[in-house]
Structure 1
Amino acid sequence: MALALVVHGFLECTRPKAERYRFRWSSSFKLCVPAVADLIATALGSVALLYVNVSFFQLARCTIIIYVATLKVIFLKFSMTGYMRFGIVVMSFAIVLISASCLASANDLVRTLVGVCVLLLACLTSAMQYVLEEVFMKKPVQTDKNDSVEDAVSNPPLVVIGMEGVWGTLLMLFVVMPIAYAIPGADNGHVEDFFDSIEMMQNSTTLTYYCILYVISITGFNVASIYVTFFLDAVWRSILVNFRPVAIWVTSLLFYYVFTNGTYGETWTNWSWLQLAGMLLLFFGTAVYNENIKLRCFTYPSQKQDEHEKTGVVSDESDDCAAPAVVVVATA
Structure 2
Amino acid sequence: MASRTKTAILVSGMLVSGTINTISKKLQLDCRAAGYFNHTANNTRTVHEFSKPWFQSLLMFLGEFVCFFIFLGVRAHKKRRMIRDGTYVEPAPGEKPAGMVYKPVFHWIFVLPAALDLIGSSVASIGLLFIDASIWQMLRGSLIVFAGLLSICILKRRLYGFHWTGIVLTVIGLAVVGTKSVFSGHLKHSSAEAALGVALVLLGSFISTLQMIVEEIFLKKHGFHPLQTVGMEGFYGTVLMIVIALPVVHFIPGNDLNGSYENQLDALYQLGDNALILVISIVFIFSIALFNYTGLSITRYLTTVHRTLVDALRTAFIWIIDVILFYAAGSQYGEPFNYAWDLIQIDGFALLVIGTLIYNEIMSLKFIPACVPHEEESIEDQEIAAADDSLGNKTEPNSDEEEEVVEDDEDGGDETKKILGD
The normalised TM-score by structure 2 is 0.62
Checking the alignment, whether the CA contact within 8 Å between 1:68 and 1:235 is kept in structure 2 is: no
Report which stretch shifted further, 43-52 or 223-232: 223-232
1:22 and 2:118 aligned: no
Question: Does 2:219 correspond to 1:137?
Answer: yes
Which structure 2 segments of 5+ residues have no match? 1-63, 83-87, 90-98, 380-403, 417-422
Structure 1, unpaired ranges of 5+ = 142-153, 323-332
For 1:88 and 1:104, the matched residues in 2 are separated by 24
Match of 1:81 in 2: 160
Matches within 5 A, 1:109-128: 109-128=191-210
Q: Which residue of 1 aligns with 2:135?
A: 56
Deviation at 1:32, TM superposition (A): 1.2
Matched, 1:13 2:85: no
Match of 2:323 among 253, 266, 279: 253
Structure 1 residue 160 displacement after superposition = 1.3
Q: Compared with structure 1, are the counterparts of its residues 230 and 129 closer, same or farther at alpha carbon in structure 2 (3 Å cutoff)? A: farther
**How far does residue 235 in structure 1 lie from its aligned partner after superposition?**
12
1:14 aligned counterpart, secondary structure: helix
- Partner Cα distance (2:156, 2:274) in 1: 52
Aligned equivalent of 2:85 = none
Aligned match of 1:147: none
Q: Indicate how the Cα distance of structure 1 residues 288 and 203 shifts in structure 2: closer, same or farther if over 3 A, else same.
A: closer
**Distance in 2 (alpha carbons) for counterparts of 1:105 and 1:49:** 16
Does 2:67 match 1:4? yes
Give SS of 1:292's match: coil
The size of the alignment, in residue pairs, is 303
Deviation, structure 1 residue 286: 1.4
1:165 paired with 2:246, answer no
1:120 alignment partner AA: L
Q: Where does residue 219 of structure 1 map in the other structure?
A: 289
Helix, strand or coil: the match of 1:31?
A: helix
2:409 to 313, 316, 325: 313
Mapping 1:163-202, distance limit 5 Å: 163-184=232-253, 185-187=255-257, 190-198=260-268, 201=271
Please name the residue that 1:156 is paired with.
Answer: 225
Amino acid at match of 2:191: L
Amino acid at match of 1:82: G
Provide TM-score, normalisation by structure 1. 0.77
Question: Contact conserved, 2:182 with 2:191, CA < 8 A, in 1?
Answer: yes
Q: Would the aligned equivalents of 2:128 and 2:197 in 1 still touch at CA under 8 Å?
A: yes
Shift of 1:53: 2.2
Query: Alpha-carbon deviation of 1:68?
Result: 1.2
2-structure distance, mates of 1:311, 1:250: 41
- State the alpha-carbon separation in 1 of the partners of residues 311 and 405 from structure 2: 21
Q: 1:23 to 1:98 in 2, by over 3 A?
A: same
Q: Work out whether 1:99 is the aligned partner of 2:205.
A: no
Within 1, Cα distance between the matches of 2:304 and 2:241? Answer: 26
8 Å Cα contact 1:37-1:128 kept in structure 2: yes
Instruction: Return the offset for 1:205.
Output: 6.3
Q: Could you say what secondary structure the match of 1:313 adopts? A: helix
Q: CA separation of 1:38/1:44 partners in 2, compared to 1, >3 Å: closer, same or farther?
A: same
Amino acid of the residue matched to residue 77 of structure 1?
Answer: K
When residues 9 and 263 of structure 1 are mapped into structure 2, their CA distance, relative to the original with a 3 A threshold, is closer
Moved more, 74-83 or 245-254: 74-83
Measured on the aligned residues, the alpha-carbon RMSD in Å equals 3.6
CA distance, structure 2, for counterparts of residue 304 and residue 205 of structure 1: 59
Distance in 1 separating the partners of 2:216 and 2:299: 6
Structure 1 residues 197, 299: closer, same or farther in 2, change over 3 A?
A: closer
Q: Which amino acid aligns with 2:113?
A: P
CA distance in 2, matches of 1:31, 1:223: 18
